[in-house]
């Protein structure tokens, strides 16, 4: 088994995989539920995003979001996802961004599709927050 060499270009590979994944999924038509779900997700992501810059071992919180409420994991019909990224900024600096979101799955909805929607939304939020700081 050959080992892949890790490079700095790994995030771009992830984006290619994500776009391939999206190409294989059928876009859902815009409905009232989809609009409400999008708004709910964006509101939660705004509230639940943490951004921390670390310089020479000293952490500076640039944005403090609501901590993840793990109690929701045990409720019925709740789908949630948490992701984070650490970005090296050189000169012994790094940026850590964490986001989480959870939504209730309505009867007849596919939890896997909702999870894909959450994953895409979090990926966009992570990129947005990194761009705000790094530029």
How far apart, in Å, do the first and last CA atoms of the chain sit?
39
The C-alpha atoms of residue 48 and residue 120 are separated, in whole angstroms, by 16
Is the pTM here over 0.85, yes or no?
A: no
Residue 93 counted as domain residue: yes
Residue 54 belongs to what domain range? Answer: 37-134
40 within 8 A of 103, measured Cβ to Cβ? yes
Residue 21 counted as domain residue: no
Residue 45 counted as domain residue: yes
β partners of residue 100: 82
CB atoms within 10 A of CB 121: 19
Number of compact structural domains in the chain: 1
DSSP string, 34-80: HHHHHHHHHHHHHHTEEEEEEETTEEEEEE--PPP-GGGGGSTTEEE
Residue 41 counted as domain residue: yes
Residue 32 counted as domain residue: no
Residues, the chain: 135
Residue 22 counted as domain residue: no
Residue 8 counted as domain residue: no
Residue 83 counted as domain residue: yes
pLDDT tens for the chain, residues 1 to 135:
444 443 343 343 344 334 444 444 445 555 666 788 889 999 999 999 999 999 988 999 999 988 877 666 667 788 899 999 999 988 889 999 999 999 989 889 999 999 999 999 999 999 999 999 987
The string over 19-57, giving b where at least 16 C-beta atoms fall within 10 Å of a residue's C-beta and e elsewhere, is eeeeeeeeeeeeeeeeeebeeebeebbeebbbbbbeeee
The C-alpha atoms of residue 133 and residue 37 are separated, in whole angstroms, by 28
């Amino acid at each position: 088994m050959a080992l892949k060499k890790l490079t700095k270009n790994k995030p771009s590979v992830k984006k290619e995989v994500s776009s391939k994944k999206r190409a294989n999924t059928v876009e859902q038509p815009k409905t009232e539920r989809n609009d409400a779900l999008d708004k709910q997700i964006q509101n939660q992501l705004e509230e639940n995003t943490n951004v921390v810059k670390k310089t020479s071992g000293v952490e500076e919180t640039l944005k403090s979001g609501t901590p993840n409420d793990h109690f929701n994991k045990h409720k019925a019909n709740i789908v949630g996802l948490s992701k984070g990224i650490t970005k090296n900024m050189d000169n012994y600096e790094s940026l850590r961004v964490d986001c989480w979101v959870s939504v209730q799955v309505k009867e007849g909805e596919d939890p896997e599709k909702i999870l894909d929607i959450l994953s895409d939304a979090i990926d966009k939020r992570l990129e947005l927050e990194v761009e705000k700081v790094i530029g």
